[in-house]
Copies of this chain bind each other. A is one copy, B any other.
């Protein structure tokens, strides 16, 4: 999980992928029970005799890197730490099974804070039929750290990887995009702008006229409490709709590049079709960038991006059973030499670099 929308994030992503490649070159060829190793949302293991494949994902959240403590409650933080892990299972169509929780706890954390963390995790785990069954805790000299590992199950034929997209496939996305990044931007501005009590003049003037406070709260909740799309992922995978899938953790442009790289394809993304919430529209005048910046590059939405064979498109749209979850067709897959491009509102094709940074422009 990466923080959204800064140049530093871009650099980190680049270095992390480099590191991953170097590390992979050190490792031996995995044993035959390893169906999918490093490089997808989950590792996939085939255990002797088991009906289902075992899927495993691990994600860590570190204070000052992935979150600041004052931006959510401990219960919300516990919820989110598990939600982002479950999102990886969702992206491959798996059912959650078990959760392992490792925590580094600074001494300033009270027992009640730790209980609240576990309460947030437990409520989400219970609601998806998974159990917290192990972990480790340690004192920490400085930051709070949560490292979660989730196990899930999926029928071997229904495990969806990043690598299965084919030219001609349609690209679909669940939910709306960019809300979490916009919500985080407002939370960060609250940090840098002086509080009302310290600045009576600002307090007297209040927030700018028309500032949509309820809407901003709504966007902040999308950042704090992402909903892992487990049912949707399972349905897309088991119905044979998704040829490739991943969850949007680092922003659509970055994650689309990951899907394209894994599948060795290119893509066309139609800017006008990217789903944005009414909350994002309502907050537009108060954001630092245009709304398309958030929908294209904003991280931490944890929505699903799926490639769907063209012949399955009509059935998918006719049978989509999730009334509360938007499903939008946002583009299509092309051969690799045609690259990853955005179709603008003026219907021009523009190269779409991951994260919107020029130094990531595809070769």
Residues in chain A within 8 A of chain B (CB atoms): 12, 16, 19-20, 22-23, 26-28, 30-31, 33-34, 37-38, 42-43, 45, 47-52, 54, 56-60, 62-66, 97-98, 100, 102, 104, 111, 114-115, 118-119, 122, 125-126, 129-143, 145, 147, 149, 151, 153
Residues of the B chain whose Cβ atoms lie less than 8 Å from the Cβ of A65: 104, 138-141
Q: Which residue of B lies closest to A141 (CB)?
A: B64
What is the CA–CA distance of A142 and B104 in the complex, to the nearest angstrom? 13
Given contacts A23-B115, A23-B118, A140-B143, whether A60 and B104 have CB atoms under 8 Å apart is yes
Decide if B43 touches A98 in the complex (CB within 8 Å): yes
Tell me, rounded to whole Å, the shortest Cβ–Cβ distance linking A79 to chain B. Answer: 14
A19, A122, A129, A132: residue with the most chain B Cβ atoms closer than 10 Å: A132
Tell me, rounded to whole Å, the shortest Cβ–Cβ distance linking A148 to chain B. Answer: 9
Tell me, rounded to whole Å, the shortest Cβ–Cβ distance linking A41 to chain B. Answer: 10
- Residue A62 contacts which of B33, B37, B140 (CB distance < 8 angstroms)? B140
Decide if A60 touches B141 in the complex (CB within 8 Å): no
Residues of the B chain whose Cβ atoms lie less than 8 Å from the Cβ of A12: 139
Decide if B19 touches A114 in the complex (CB within 8 Å): yes
Residues of the B chain whose Cβ atoms lie less than 8 Å from the Cβ of A147: 58, 60, 102, 136, 145, 147
Tell me, rounded to whole Å, the shortest Cβ–Cβ distance linking A14 to chain B. Answer: 13
Copies of this polypeptide in the complex = 2
Q: What would 19 more interface pairs be, CB under 8 Å, given A56-B133, A59-B136?
A: A20-B137, A22-B111, A22-B115, A26-B119, A37-B134, A45-B98, A47-B50, A47-B51, A54-B54, A56-B100, A57-B134, A58-B134, A58-B147, A60-B136, A60-B147, A63-B141, A66-B138, A104-B145, A149-B149
Decide if A134 touches B56 in the complex (CB within 8 Å): yes
Decide if A54 touches B60 in the complex (CB within 8 Å): no
Residues of the B chain whose Cβ atoms lie less than 8 Å from the Cβ of A151: 45, 56
Q: Which residue of B lies closest to A57 (CB)?
A: B134
Decide if B51 touches A133 in the complex (CB within 8 Å): no
What is the CA–CA distance of A58 and B31 in the complex, to the nearest angstrom? 21
A-B contact pairs, 30 of them (CB 8 A): A12-B139, A19-B137, A23-B118, A26-B115, A26-B119, A27-B122, A28-B125, A31-B131, A33-B97, A37-B133, A37-B134, A43-B134, A45-B97, A47-B50, A47-B153, A48-B153, A49-B50, A56-B133, A56-B149, A57-B134, A58-B100, A59-B136, A60-B136, A60-B138, A62-B138, A65-B104, A65-B138, A141-B142, A143-B143, A149-B149
Decide if A133 touches B43 in the complex (CB within 8 Å): yes
What is the CA–CA distance of A133 and B137 in the complex, to the nearest angstrom? 23
Decide if B37 touches A131 in the complex (CB within 8 Å): yes
What is the CA–CA distance of A218 and B98 in the complex, to the nearest angstrom? 41
Residues of the B chain whose Cβ atoms lie less than 8 Å from the Cβ of A56: 98, 100, 133-134, 149, 151
A20, A22, A49, A147: residue with the most chain B Cβ atoms closer than 10 Å: A147
Tell me, rounded to whole Å, the shortest Cβ–Cβ distance linking A135 to chain B. Answer: 6
What is the CA–CA distance of A145 and B22 in the complex, to the nearest angstrom? 20
Tell me, rounded to whole Å, the shortest Cβ–Cβ distance linking A94 to chain B. Answer: 13
